[in-house]
Structure 1
Amino acid sequence: MRADDKRADPANERFIEVVEVGPRDGFQIERTFIPTSEKIAIINAMIEAGVRRLEVTSFVSPRAVPQLADAAEVLAGIDRSKGAFLTALVPNPKGAERAAEAGIDAMVVFCSASETHNAKNVNRTIAESLAGFREVVAVAEDARIPVVGAIATAFGCPFEGEVPPDAVVRVARAYRDLGIRQVGLGDTTGMATPPTVQSAVRALAAETPELEIGLHFHNTRGIGLANVLVGLAEGIRRYDASIAGLGGCPFAAGATGNICTEDLVYLLQESGYQTGIDLDALCAIARRVERLIGRPLPGQVMKAGPRLKRHAADEVATAAG
């Protein structure tokens, strides 16, 4: 299923931006180090398939996340000739300086909406995290690099339970006051449901209408794509996803993979939206990633293919009797 480049115009109201986060959110929890050359090759293949925004790594301490110790090397090897927009997580000013030196297109800072998860994730209170981002934003501004604010546990916390929309709005306002104009709501452990997605999105639209919202769902309980449909109905036009369904937060019990990029693209295309992404090429990349990881991955469309994929009759056994 070839992507039509004419339909990939972001000004088109039917265009949905799919943000590939597998190279960061997916690879980060793999214990076996993935060769830098393989990471680069997979990212370049996704760009060739039409993916235009990718979260490619994180400039965290190599001791904290050894899998992403090659962040600068990965950035250096990516083919930027097709205009891909590359982002990376930055936890602190030192990480921001490294990201700027590596030539990242946008920095992503992250803070949980629940105190307990934030403490587990970064060993800080929410207030401490937000205060620390001032220096990150200053580094980014000096380098003329935009900053995106991610809000983890936006739809529920595995330690605290329900996360009220007011808690999400509080973090979003703090981001806005730092000069950040894009925020992403993260469903860190797959606790989002259609009603919680609707409530959080509507609260942000009412209280911080100047912010552009993106959604980051996990498929822990099998309704990640159902939540996407709710987001679409609410007018959200940017969604994170991970190739083959890789991913999961290492600091949250029960976390599993993100919604799958090729499954998301299939849903969007079958629903009349445009992504600019070649689904067949994306499925081939997902199968390549599955071979690289060495275990079955949860992506569905990479196994079954698009809805109208044809098979020769002699490929299938005929019923006896």
Structure 2
Amino acid sequence: MTAALRDVTLRDGLQLTGKPLPTATKVSLVRSLLELGVPEVEIGSMARPDLVPAVADTLDVIRALTPEELAKCWIWVATPRHVARAAEAGARNFQYCLSASDKHNQANIGRSTEDSLAALPAALEAAADVSGDVQLCIATAFTCPFEGEIAADRVLDIVLDPRADGTSEVVLCDTLGQAIPAQVRSLVGRTASVDDRPIVYHGHDTWGLGVANSLAALEAGATTVDGSLGGLGGCPFAPGAAGNTATEDLVFALRPEWLTPAKFKTLVRLGTEVLAGLGEPNRSRAADGAQASTTSFSWAS
């Protein structure tokens, strides 16, 4: 099973934290993750800083990174203006997000899903001006806190909407972490059967199935899965959403080619330091195992 990991600590991971992470610390973390071999990193969001203050310095983070580093980094956007502002700072990879659920789109972005789709061509044009890539990110692809279960056909309609032509990848988000592996396998498989864009699976571990759902997504055809250090994160506009699937748990399960026991231990240390600085609990079971083990197991700390 070939898979890429995107670490989303600095975007989704920070959305519910009570304490800010200094810009310099963010930049250092991006570089540490890339140096370890993590293929992609989501480094911030263009969301309103008064609503998500933890990502208010996203443009500063972008400006601090080199073009080579930014080639592996993604920015969350929801409007053409977001793309233009991030691009001006140096970003080249944009995750254009909308929700399958109208009510969540209103809560999260302040407009209907249809309005978000209508603005997508302009966002694609803004990205094309800097030779950038735009992912089509579909939040609440499985369940919504306001509307309940989301029909798969609703998600596929968005995937196949001609206004999304030109997006480079499709991101399917289990925003609340309520999906089970069979549902993930089905939606990813159906999406892959009707569209040839690579699929990213963004999962949460609210109900303890983050790793299982990620593995199911990869088995069904996804090429990338998202995770955050220590399982940090959640959506401030989705009541009941808890942390992301832990990056440490995902890499321990997947054993990508770049990962060695020494690099895994460094990753565990990075997660421990970040969460301690934020005063947040570490929810990674793999990190717990690595730090608690007293055996000669090579992955233990």
When the two structures are superposed, what TM-score results if normalisation uses the length of structure 2?
A: 0.91
Aligned length: 295
Aligned with residue 250 of structure 1, among 218, 227, 236: 236
Aligned with residue 257 of structure 2, among 267, 274, 297: 274
Give the aligned partner of residue 197 of structure 2: 211
Partner Cα separation in structure 1 for residue 95 and residue 14 of structure 2: 17
User: 2:72 aligned with 1:85, yes or no?
Assistant: yes
When the two structures are superposed, what TM-score results if normalisation uses the length of structure 1?
A: 0.85
Give the residue type in structure 2 aligned to 1:50. Answer: G
Give the residue type in structure 1 aligned to 2:82. Answer: G
Aligned with residue 270 of structure 2, among 285, 289, 294: 285
Describe the shift of the 1:78–1:113 C-alpha distance in structure 2 as closer, same or farther (beyond 3 A): same
Partner Cα separation in structure 2 for residue 118 and residue 83 of structure 1: 28
Alignment of 1:115-134 (within 5 A): 115-134=102-121
SS in 1 for 2:144: coil
Give the aligned partner of residue 5 of structure 1: none
Partner Cα separation in structure 1 for residue 249 and residue 157 of structure 2: 32
User: 2:223 aligned with 1:237, yes or no?
Assistant: yes
Residue segments in structure 2 that go unaligned for 5+ positions in a row: none
Equivalent residues of 1:198, 1:234 under 8 A apart: yes
Aligned with residue 158 of structure 1, among 145, 149, 157: 145
Give the aligned partner of residue 133 of structure 2: 146
Give the aligned partner of residue 18 of structure 2: 31
Give the C-alpha shift of residue 237 in structure 1.
2.1
1:241-265 per-residue CA deviation (whole Å, 9 max, x = no partner) reads: 1111111000011110000001100
Question: Aligned-residue CA RMSD in angstroms?
Answer: 2.2
SS in 1 for 2:15: helix
Equivalent residues of 1:60, 1:90 under 8 A apart: yes
Give the C-alpha shift of residue 136 in structure 1.
1.1
Give the residue type in structure 2 aligned to 1:250. Answer: P
Partner Cα separation in structure 2 for residue 293 and residue 175 of structure 1: 42
More displaced 10-residue stretch of structure 1: 81-90 or 213-222: 81-90
Describe the shift of the 1:279–1:70 C-alpha distance in structure 2 as closer, same or farther (beyond 3 A): same
Give the aligned partner of residue 69 of structure 1: 56
Partner Cα separation in structure 1 for residue 294 and residue 186 of structure 2: 38
Partner Cα separation in structure 1 for residue 9 and residue 162 of structure 2: 25
Aligned with residue 186 of structure 2, among 195, 199, 207: 199
Partner Cα separation in structure 2 for residue 158 and residue 238 of structure 1: 25
SS in 1 for 2:251: helix
Q: Which has the larger Rg?
A: 1
Give the residue type in structure 2 aligned to 1:165. Answer: A
Partner Cα separation in structure 1 for residue 208 and residue 37 of structure 2: 27
Give the C-alpha shift of residue 281 in structure 1.
1.4
Alignment of 1:274-313 (within 5 A): 274-276=257-259, 278-305=263-290, 310=295
Equivalent residues of 1:166, 1:203 under 8 A apart: no
Task: Name the % identity.
Answer: 35
More displaced 10-residue stretch of structure 1: 71-80 or 97-106: 71-80
Residue segments in structure 1 that go unaligned for 5+ positions in a row: 1-13, 313-321
1:46-101 per-residue CA deviation (whole Å, 9 max, x = no partner) reads: 12221121110012332332221211211222366678601101121221111111
User: 2:157 aligned with 1:183, yes or no?
Assistant: no
1:114-137 per-residue CA deviation (whole Å, 9 max, x = no partner) reads: 122112211211111100122211
Partner Cα separation in structure 2 for residue 238 and residue 74 of structure 1: 24
SS in 1 for 2:269: helix
Give the C-alpha shift of residue 190 in structure 1.
0.6
Partner Cα separation in structure 2 for residue 181 and residue 77 of structure 1: 25
More displaced 10-residue stretch of structure 1: 134-143 or 76-85: 76-85
